[in-house]
Amino acid sequence: MLDVRNLNVWYGVTEVVRDVSFSVPTGSIVALMGGNGAGKTTILNTLSGLLKPRGGELALDGESIKDRHPHDIVVRGLVQVPQGRHVWPGMTVRDNLDLGAVTRKDKDGIRADIEEAFALFPILAERRDQRASSLSGGEQQMLAICRALMAKPRMLLMDEPSAGLSPRIVQEMVAAIRRLHERGLTILLVEQNVGVAGALADTAYVLANGEIAFSTDGAELATNPDVLRSYLGR
Amino acid sequence: MAVGLVFLATLPFHANPYLLFVGNLAMLYIVLTVGLNLLIGYTGMLAFQNAALFGVGAYGCAVLRVTLGLPYWLSLPAGGLIAMIVGVLVALPALRLTGLYLALATVAFAQFTLWVFLHWYSVTGGPAGIQMHPVDFGVLASTAEYGLYYLTMAIMLAVVALTWNLVRSRIGRAFVAIRESEVAAEALAIDLTRYKTIAYAISALYAGVAGGLFAAMLGIVVPESYDLFQVIAQFAMVVVGGIGSVWGAVIGAVGLIWVQEALRAFKEFQEIAFGGMILLTVLFLRGGAMSLIKRHIKGWDEPLRRIPRKR
């Protein structure tokens, strides 16, 4: 579904992503892993069109999205759940969801999808008229996911959905992501949590200093000696 | 609110000409402040070009009316449109800027505009400005003052109603989304360029129309009306009234016009008072006067959507 070939991204004079290639087959969950500063978020923001790559090719369903506007990329079905969640704090839960559907005009469909989001995370239904700033971290993560779903994505880019959450909420999040995957969503997951990535991903790519160090089967992630050594420092 | 409206509507019948002038000025500043608040308060852009666009609207209206002989009912909206076009042209480079750089660039634009007003003699008349003869409202009003007062009132009410509906539409929510997280807004397909341009254009149009009204009110357009003090005055109204609140803008405009008139005899104190009020608000009352109202009047909220009436 998504093909990344020889991607190069620079911030000014610094190369932050170097010759990265990977692909995400339709219906799979692929994890991008690596320590802070490895270039994971940069790759996601480049895929979303927020950053312009210096070189390489990005293709969604065989069509280049390299020079596309962020708006176009969302319309094509590739939607990001940003790091740190970035919900709009002053807006209510419902307004956050409504604005996630900014590319759509079908009012009834939007209303139905908001109800569907509430079915996915019932706690959000109780909080629908509360400001997003009053939600807990886990609830904000749920809201950020639902807000992305409002754009009717075919593929989600999730940036560290487990960051800053308690272990119990992380388990809930893993279950929720699995449900989304069962509904047919393809997912590119950026994670630092080996447990989460291992539980979900079909394939994992481990980044170091902007390059792909190696890739591994998701199921073997937790036992792969390379992961333990290079990534966790054991 | 109804009491306020009745008071405003009947002011010409029980007030002296000076009070009428002040009432008119306050309503005109409501138009300016509501527009600036769309930019600063709702969209979160620290932009200061509106004082200059206020001047562009005033000069536009005066030049069209005096030099080209157009009637006021045509030169007023035309002045507004000119200001809007200039506002969008300013927005083009400003779209790339945020925070301090945007503030600096727009203050520089305001200074540049002032320089043009002062030095483009053939059009602006230089420091002497442009004299305007009173607007004739014909059968609609017995004097120019009355006519202008009700015209300003109609425009003010239209602007407040329009803006109140705008901020509760999806466009308004998109403004707030840009303010609260530009990254999320952009990643979720909210077109930053489009919505920022809309905010710049609307607030420029309001400023331009207010400029045309101001020109007619004073009967003269001179550069010093649109100097740095104008920038500070409008900014103070937004901050003191309440950033990101339509009603806060209304309160800020009326309140600060009152302060300005109370200090009419001591012009230097006006600037000190406005600066001081900005400082005190920023230090002790971030949400401005509006936050006091929200705290003490139960159930007062300015939701970003129309709430259907409960049956």
For chain B, the residue count is 311
**Alpha helix (H) residue ranges in A24-154:** 40-47, 70-75, 93-100, 107-120, 122-126, 137-149
Average the pLDDT over B61-65 and give the result.
Answer: 93
- pLDDT(A209) > 80: yes
Q: Best of A75, A79, A94, A102 to disrupt the B interface by mutation (most B CBs within 10 Å)?
A: A102
φ, ψ of residue A17 in degrees (nearest 5):
-130, 125
Place of tokens 């100097």: B227
Give kind and range of the element (H or E) at residue B2: helix B2-14
Q: Tell how far CA B174 is from the center of its chain.
A: 21
> Residue A48 is encoded by which pair of tokens?
């979303």
Q: List CB contacts (< 8 A) between B188 and chain A.
A: 74, 79-80, 99-100, 102, 147-148, 151
Residue A212 pairs in a beta bridge with: A207
Q: Kindly determine whether residue B304 and residue A75, on different chains, have CB atoms separated by under 8 Å.
A: no
Average the pLDDT over A178-182 and give the result.
Answer: 92
- pLDDT(B306) > 60: yes
Q: List CB contacts (< 8 A) between A45 and chain B.
A: 187
Give kind and range of the element (H or E) at residue B220: strand B220-221
Nearest to B189 among A82, A89, A102 (CB): A102
Q: How confident is the model at residue A194 (pLDDT cuts 50, 70, 90)?
A: confident
CATH code of the domain in which A216 resides: 3.40.50.300
- pLDDT(B311) > 60: no
Q: How confident is the model at residue B307 (pLDDT cuts 50, 70, 90)?
A: low
Greater confidence (A226 vs B288) lies with: B288
Does residue A124 lie in a domain region? yes
Domain range holding A42? 22-52+66-231
Q: Kindly determine whether residue A88 and residue B183, on different chains, have CB atoms separated by under 8 Å.
A: no
Q: Rounded distance, CA A209 to CA B297, Å?
A: 55
Output DSSP code: residue B120.
-
Q: Is A13 helix (H, G, I), strand (E, B) or coil?
A: coil
Q: Is A2 helix (H, G, I), strand (E, B) or coil?
A: strand
Give kind and range of the element (H or E) at residue B194: helix B192-218
Average the pLDDT over A135-142 and give the result.
Answer: 90
**End-to-end CA separation in angstroms for chain B:** 24
Q: Is B242 helix (H, G, I), strand (E, B) or coil?
A: coil
Percent of chain B at pLDDT above 90?
Answer: 49
For chain B, give the mean pLDDT.
88
**Is residue B274 a contact partner of residue B239, using CB atoms and an 8 Å limit?**
no
Place of tokens 């991607």: A7
Closest CA to A226 of A207, A210, A209: A207
> Residue A127 is encoded by which pair of tokens?
């909080």
Closest CA to B149 of B264, B254, B11: B11
Average the pLDDT over B289-308 and give the result.
Answer: 74
Average the pLDDT over B102-119 and give the result.
Answer: 92
pLDDT of residue B310: 47
> Residue B50 is encoded by which pair of tokens?
């509106």
- pLDDT(A230) > 70: no
pLDDT of residue A207: 87
Percent of chain A at pLDDT above 90?
Answer: 35
- pLDDT(B303) > 90: no
Q: List CB contacts (< 8 A) between B183 and chain A.
A: 50, 82, 86
Q: pLDDT tens-digit profile of A26-80?
A: 999 999 988 777 888 889 999 999 888 888 899 999 888 888 889 899 999 999 9
- pLDDT(B163) > 80: yes
Does residue A205 lie in a domain region? yes
Give the number of domains in chain A: 1
- Shortest alpha-carbon distance between residue B303 and chain A (Å): 8
Q: pLDDT tens-digit profile of B6-55?
A: 777 777 777 788 888 899 999 999 999 999 999 999 999 999 999 999 99
Does residue A121 lie in a domain region? yes
Average the pLDDT over A184-198 and give the result.
Answer: 89
pLDDT of residue A233: 58
- The alpha carbon dihedral of B144, B150, B153, B159 has a sign of negative
Does residue A14 lie in a domain region? no
- pLDDT(B199) > 50: yes
Please tell me which residue of chain B has the smallest CA distance to A79: B188
Q: Rounded distance, CA A6 to CA B154, Å?
A: 61
Q: Best of A99, A111, A155, A190 to disrupt the B interface by mutation (most B CBs within 10 Å)?
A: A99
A residues 103-162 lying closer than 8 A (beta carbon) to B: 103, 147-148, 151
Q: Tell how far CA B8 is from the center of its chain.
A: 19
Closest CA to B130 of B121, B138, B139: B121
Greater confidence (B57 vs B1) lies with: B57
- Shortest alpha-carbon distance between residue B22 and chain A (Å): 36
A37 touches chain B (CB under 8 A): no
Q: Rounded distance, CA A201 to CA A197, Å?
A: 5
Does residue A227 lie in a domain region? yes
C-alpha angle A182/A148/A84, rounded to 5°? Answer: 110
Q: Rounded distance, CA A25 to CA A181, Å?
A: 13
β-bridge pairing A63-64 and A14-24: unpaired
Sort B199 into a burial class: Cβ within 10 Å, 0-12 / 13-18 / 19+: buried
> Residue B290 is encoded by which pair of tokens?
């509006």
pLDDT of residue B213: 95
pLDDT of residue B15: 76
Q: Rounded distance, CA B232 to CA B208, Å?
A: 18
Q: Rounded distance, CA B256 to CA B261, Å?
A: 8
Does residue A134 lie in a domain region? yes
Q: pLDDT tens-digit profile of B226-269?
A: 988 899 999 999 999 988 889 999 999 999 999 888 888 887 78
Q: Is B297 helix (H, G, I), strand (E, B) or coil?
A: coil
Instruction: Give the CA diameter of chain B.
Output: 63
Sheet of strand A2-11, all strands in order from the earlier edge strand to the far edge: A14-24, A2-11, A55-60, A63-64
Sort B291 into a burial class: Cβ within 10 Å, 0-12 / 13-18 / 19+: middle
Percent of chain A at pLDDT above 70?
Answer: 97
Output DSSP code: residue B310.
P
Q: Rounded distance, CA A166 to CA A141, Å?
A: 12
For chain B, the 3-state helix, strand and coil shares in percent, each to the nearest 5, are 75, 0, 20
Does residue A132 lie in a domain region? yes
Q: Best of B176, B182, B188, B190 to disrupt the A interface by mutation (most A CBs within 10 Å)?
A: B188
Q: pLDDT tens-digit profile of A97-130?
A: 999 888 888 888 898 999 988 988 899 999 988 9
Closest CA to B36 of B248, B270, B287: B248
Does residue A83 lie in a domain region? yes
Q: Rounded distance, CA A92 to CA A95, Å?
A: 5
Q: pLDDT tens-digit profile of B264-285?
A: 888 778 888 888 888 888 888 8
pLDDT of residue B132: 85
Q: Is B136 helix (H, G, I), strand (E, B) or coil?
A: coil
- pLDDT(B308) > 60: no
Q: Rounded distance, CA B37 to CA B39, Å?
A: 5
| E strand map for A25-145 | 29-33, 55-60, 63-64, 78-81
β-bridge pairing A203-208 and A211-217: antiparallel
- pLDDT(B139) > 90: no
